[in-house]
Structure 1
Amino acid sequence: MARPKSEDKRNAILAAATEVIAEQGLGAPTSRIAKLAGVAEGTLFTYFDNKDALLNELYLDIKADLREVMMATYPMRASTRERAQHVWNQFVDWGVAQPQKRRAMAQLVVSDRLTESARATGMQSFADINAMIEESVASGTLRDHPPAFVSAIMAALAETTMDFIAREPAHAERYRRAGFEAFWNAIAQH
């Protein structure tokens, strides 16, 4: 009879995968991930059928963490600009506080190893934000860009902002505000 799977071991594998992928990229060996997680490589494959399954689960795990941070205090009834600024601030703060997750996610989102199902689930996690974008486009508040494109613009500008905050933490608020203004000017109708 097979042993029941441990949530602690699964989480340890995902944490190790985050660290190893952030450092070595998607080509990092599963043996390194298993060693860092404190499990045998065979155990890793008890939890994840193959490396692609691990990468897809890691993507969803990081997306879930980011969603929790962004949406816990999301101001549903605020203006479009206030909601966009909330999302921006939460994302930038998360990225600065979680550099390994940020680096791992940056590699995962451009990977052809992610399934369409994982990508769709990841986007669905942010349905409230996507709905806000679509409503704001329809009302003329935002430019007519698809939500995925708006997210890509935000991610690119946020990466620059996070890099500057990491280099010059004393100027974090200045960079956070300047980054948001650049983002808002890229998406808002004027």
Structure 2
Amino acid sequence: MAIRQKCDKKRKALLNATLNLVNNNGFHDAPMSKIAKIAEVSPATIYIYFENKQDLINQLYLEIKASFSEHAFKNYDENEAIKDSFQLIWYNIAHYKLNEVEEASFLSQCDNTPMIDDESRQQGLKHLQPLLDLWERGQQKGVIKLISPYLLYAYTIYPLAFLTSMQQKDSFQLTEKNLNEAFQAAWDSIKI
């Protein structure tokens, strides 16, 4: 049991070191040697847990995506009204991005760069399935515009990354009023 915990501790340290380096230096300036140094393990130890750097990045992405999904769909009930369900998910995502800044920043980088392989990206998309299902149900009921889920995401969820980024730079404050206005703008952009 103690050996297993030690292994999990090293693996977690490697993931945390990678998260930190990628967020601060970018994917290409996060060599395995730096990751090992920050995690306080030998470089060879990385290969006990991960095949290579790509595998390490992919696994980090999938773990963070799972955590994101857990937050996004907390208390979600697919039997609620479309707008109410979407509002719950939207605010859950907003709070995740505001409170889990490192993880949210990493996911934004993953969305905007080719550092995640296609297979992992497809696995990551599965974590959003309840939202995609909600939008499809909303479209079938004539509540949500009949447009691509990519457009729905672009107009509703993606702006949260911009707003939280502006807050981190002290350019904009996401007050409760601003969050409410942002949600209303998101909903107005997709409702019929």
TM norm. shorter chain > 0.5: yes
Q: In structure 2, what is the Cα distance between the partners aligned to 1:95 and 1:145?
A: 25
Q: State the Cα distance separating 1:165 from its structure 2 match.
A: 4.7
Give the TM-score normalised by structure 1: 0.88
1:174 equivalent to 2:177? Answer yes
Shift of residue 85 of structure 1? 1.1
Query: What amino acid sits opposite 1:183 in the alignment?
Result: A
Partner of 2:107: 105
Find the aligned partners of 2:74 and 2:20 in 1 and give their Cα distance: 25
- Does residue 188 of structure 2 align to residue 185 of structure 1? yes
Contact 1:16 1:33 in 2 (8 A): yes
1:24: which partner in 2? 25
Match of 2:61 among 48, 59, 64: 59
- What is the 5 A alignment of 1:140-155? 140-155=142-157
* Cα shift at 1:16: 1.5
Deviations 1:61-115 (A, max 9, x none): 1101111112231132211111111111111111111111111111112232322
CA contact (8 A) 1:25 1:104 kept: no
* Gap regions ≥5 residues in structure 1: none
Partner SS for 1:92: helix
Quote the Cα distance in structure 1 between the aligned partners of 2:157 and 2:31. Answer: 27
**Number of residue pairs matched?**
187
- Gaps spanning 5+ residues in structure 2: where? none
Amino acid in structure 2 at the alignment position of 1:188: K
The 3 A distance-change label for structure 1 pair 78 and 169 is farther
Where does residue 134 of structure 1 map in the other structure?
136
After TM superposition, the score normalised by the length of structure 2 is 0.87
Alpha-carbon distance, 1:30 to partner: 2.0
Distance in 1 (CA, whole Å) between partners of 2:129 and 2:158 is 20
For 1:34 and 1:151, how far apart are their aligned partners in 2?
Answer: 36
Q: What percentage of residue pairs aligned between the two structures are identical? A: 24
Deviations 1:111-133 (A, max 9, x none): 32322221221111222211111
Question: What does the per-residue CA deviation read over 1:1-54, in whole Å, with 9 as the maximum and x for residues that have no partner?
Answer: xx9782222122111211111111111222222222221122112211111111
Decide whether aligned partners of structure 1 residues 175 and 168 sit closer, same or farther in structure 2, where only a CA change above 3 A counts: farther
Q: What is residue 43 of structure 2 aligned with on the other side?
A: 41
Look up the equivalent residue of 1:104 and give its one-letter code.
Answer: F
Match of 2:124 among 122, 125, 136: 122
